[in-house]
Every structure is written in C-alpha cells, then in structure tokens.
Amino acid sequence: MSASPWTRTESSSPAMPEVNRPGEKHRGLGRYANLIRRSIHFRFALARLVSRLLPDVASGIIRGRIYRLAGFDIGQGAFLMGNLRLTSAAPDFYDKLSIGEGATLADNITINLDGKVTIGKNAAIAPHVVIYTGSHQIGPGSKRIGDFTALPVTIEDGAWIRVGAIIVPGVTVGAGAIVAAGAVVLKDVPPNTYVEGNPAQVVRQLPWGYR
C-alpha cells in the first residue's frame, strides 16, 4: 500500500519555485516570474489549439499523435477523445506524462503533473476523472498547509477509471482493476479488483481472461 502523501519528507519532493510567505522579507519578483514561466507550456498550448480544430471522440488517434509531437510520451494507438487538462508549475512538465499503447482517454480529464503520471497499456480513463500528484504536508495549527510535496500516480495495464473518480498522490491502480464512478482513491488498488466509494474499498475480485 502506498504511503500518505502528507507524511513524506521534504527530501522526496521535487523542486518548486519559492513564493514569499507572509511576514518574510520581500525578495523581488524573480521567484514569481519563475513560477509564471514554469506555468506556461507553449508546445502543450499549441497542441490544444490544433486539437480544437478536430472533432471530439473520432479524432482520438490524431490527437494522440499531436500530443506526442508536443513532447509527451504517448504510445502508438493511444486514443485521446478530447483535450486533456494538464496542470503544473514544477520542472520537467513534458517528461511527467506517459500514456501506453492502446490506452483510451475520454474528454474533460484533469491530470496534475507535479509528479510523474503513468497510464499503462490498454488502460481507460472516463470523463471528468481527476488525477493529482501534488499536495502539501500538514503544517502547524497557525498554518495547516505546509511544504509542497508530490508523489507519482500509476494506472497499470488494462485498468479502467470510470466517470468522475478522483485519484490522489502516490496511488497505484493495479493491472485490470476497475475504479467505480465517483470513487475517491486514497490508497493502492490491487490488480483485478473492483473498488467503489469514498474512500474507495474493494468490493469484489474480477476474473482474469482474454477477450
């Protein structure tokens, strides 16, 4: 099972631009400029712009190729039904998304790339799914939102994430598993299981077999 993202040490977190905190000496606009610079992804913006000219759903193969040309690791035959909402101001934006061969991603999907997100071969992600890798450690009572942290998320081969599910930092969804619509996944999902609820719990095992 994965550790809670709120208990990881600072040393495990990726570098993020610093922002002056209340009460600290003002150090100029350089750090804010760095944050803005890392939030602007021109190749991704161009890919989204070109993809908007395409019809949804049917153009999934073409959209996958466009995202690959933008610099993302998109496997052959990956089917992107609509533009993805990809967010992050952390370094190495284009290196943090990997989509396997034959994966199917619907429209209106949000993926945060503060940490690495790996979507396996033949995996499926339904509309309105949220996958997040960035969070904060728990601070003292005077300010509960503490230092930034990020943990990777992995959706293994053949898994299916259904409509509106939420995947939090550090989670691995095992091969062949199904996450029910609206489920909130706070810990690893074993392979070939069906989970549902908030928090998501295993409700049954799924048989393994080829179509």
Q: What is the DSSP string of 35-85?
A: HHHHH--HHHHHHHHHHTTSPTTTTHHHHHHHHHHHT-EE-TT-EE-S--E
Is 136 in the active site? yes
- What distance in Å separates the CA atoms of residue 134 and residue 146, rounded to the nearest whole number? 12
Q: What is the DSSP string of 85-104?
A: EEE--SS-GGGSEEE-TT-E
Candidate list 26, 41, 128, 136, residue with the active-site label:
136
Catalytic residues: 136
